[in-house]
Amino acid sequence: MTGLVIILRIIHLIAGVFWVGAVIFLNLLVGPSVMAAGPEGMKVMQELRRRHFMDHLLGAGAITILAGLGLVWIDSAGFQPEWFRSHLGMAISTGMLMATVAWLIGLFVIHPLGTEMASLAGEMATAPSDDARSAVGMRMMAARGRLIRFGATAMALMVLTVVTMAVARYI
């Protein structure tokens, strides 16, 4: 059992570090840089999309959550209710919930918004008139605003998850 715990912890930590670190990097540095670059910045986002960056993030998140679930299964002796009533159990459960919500936001909101932005960029490039480009631009701005809000929400949940997990054993 100790070997399994070690393997699950390593998987959980490596996937989690990638997932959280990439989300922070994307929200605090890449996103603002892309916006500052204007139309040229969309090329960076298109390249990230071509390389399936969001799929990698969602995959790392899923691996992190599943490995964490395995660790909880072991720590709680098969999800025994007493463990979940302990301070450690409540802290870990809270972290699990926040991470899962952040992952679901990525899957059901951020990923579709990225797809919408890519589609709008294509429409913008082929718009037949200035009025059409302006209309697409307005839709892009609205989608970008939602992307920024939901990205910041997911990032905040992930940072809170990391803090909760880091201090859970000391609560």
Mind spelling out the 3-state secondary structure of the chain?
Answer: CHHHHHHHHHHHHHHHHHHHHHHHHHHHHHHHHHHHHHHHHHHHHHHHHHCCHHHHHHHHHHHHHHHHHHHHHHHCCCCCHHHHHCHHHHHHHHHHHHHHHHHHHHHHHHHHHHHHHHHHHHHHHHCCCHHHHHHHHHHHHHHHHHHHHHHHHHHHHHHHHHHHHHHHHHC
pLDDT of residue 40: 87
pLDDT of residue 92: 98
pTM of the prediction? 0.94
pLDDT in tens, the chain (171 residues): 899 999 999 999 999 999 999 999 999 999 999 999 988 888 899 999 999 999 999 999 999 999 999 999 999 999 999 999 999 999 999 999 999 999 999 999 999 999 999 899 889 889 889 999 999 999 999 999 999 999 999 999 999 999 999 999 998
